Structure 1
Amino acid sequence: MTPSGPVGFTCQAFSALSLSPPQVLLCPGRASTTWPAIRSAGSFCVNVLAEDQAPLSDRFARAGGGRFEGVEWTCSAGGLPVLHGVAAWIECGLRSEFPGGDHTIVRGDVRRLGATPGSRPLLYFRGQYTRIAEPTADPDDPDM
């Protein structure tokens, strides 16, 4: 969140880093014009999109402003944008940054998080959106 409103981008690399203390890792491109605004704010919210939100991913991946226009969102307890319908959200404080080739490696301290029960995450693999495979019943597996 900036003084002029919310900013955001689709991040290609995001991961849990540590459980104790809870931390995440994300890697915005060094050419990003949005990351500097988020850096200045000192905090960010990772919105894990739900499997039906590919259009939002595409929208936030495009260069330029207006990404939040017409998009439903609310503020987290910490005042950060949480997009409507996401599978999960993770509010973080910026801990540190490191150079990583053509990306910046960002470490964030988790402050708050939430999830939508029953929601499944949007996945992007080998240049396309995909879904988590449904488990198949194995008649020989007593746990299925």
Structure 2
Amino acid sequence: MSETTIDPAAFRKVLGSYPTGVCVITALDGEKPAGMVVGTFTSVSLDPPLVGFFPDKSSTSWPQIEKTGHFCVNVMGSDQQQVCRAVSAKGDEKFVGVEYVVSDHNLPIIANSIACIECRLYSVTEAGDHWFVLGEVLRMETVREDDPMLFHRGRYGGFAECM
């Protein structure tokens, strides 16, 4: 238990002032794709090459991804809100209408994502009501040079350059 008491609503409001990129984490659960939308993706280490993200402990998708031992980070473009809405759905409807190919590492790579980063699960550490997941990068590629999708104050959007 923390020594200070922070109101959860105030915490969300203040931290919601900080925009994040949007990624879809994917894996194959047998023959079926599994996926989740995250706004917590980050690079962690160059040597070894590690990336990380923070799935909620209540996620029903994370256990499906975790058991495969591998995952792909699909960096979403600002024009891919429909993909995020589909993958955010509950149950078996997640990948309805979502185009993807299966890579040599047996991972779903979402069509037209800005970049894809294929990883082997490196570690999972408890972090409050989330898990801190580290992945060792096996392969990565920039697919297209477009604006990333951003999440800010509960909404999806894009990047606007300052003049």
Q: Any residues of structure 2 matched to 1:1-144 within 5 Å, and which? A: 1-136=28-163
> What is the aligned length?
136
Aligned-pair CA distance for 1:46: 0.7
Aligned-pair CA distance for 1:62: 2.6
Secondary structure of the equivalent of 1:68?
coil
Query: What is the TM-score with the length of structure 1 in the denominator?
Result: 0.88
Unaligned 5+ runs, structure 2:
1-27
Query: What is the TM-score with the length of structure 2 in the denominator?
Result: 0.78
Deviations 1:30-60 (A, max 9, x none): 0111111111100000111111001211221
Unaligned 5+ runs, structure 1:
137-144
Aligned-pair CA distance for 1:133: 1.7
Aligned-pair CA distance for 1:77: 2.1
The ranges of structure 1 where at least 4 consecutive aligned residues each deviate by more than 3 angstroms after the TM superposition are: none
Secondary structure of the equivalent of 1:35?
helix
Flag the structure with higher helix content: 2
Backbone CA RMSD of aligned residues = 1.3
Counterpart contact for 1:12–1:28, Cα < 8 Å:
no
Q: Distance in 1 between matches of 2:39 and 2:126?
A: 16
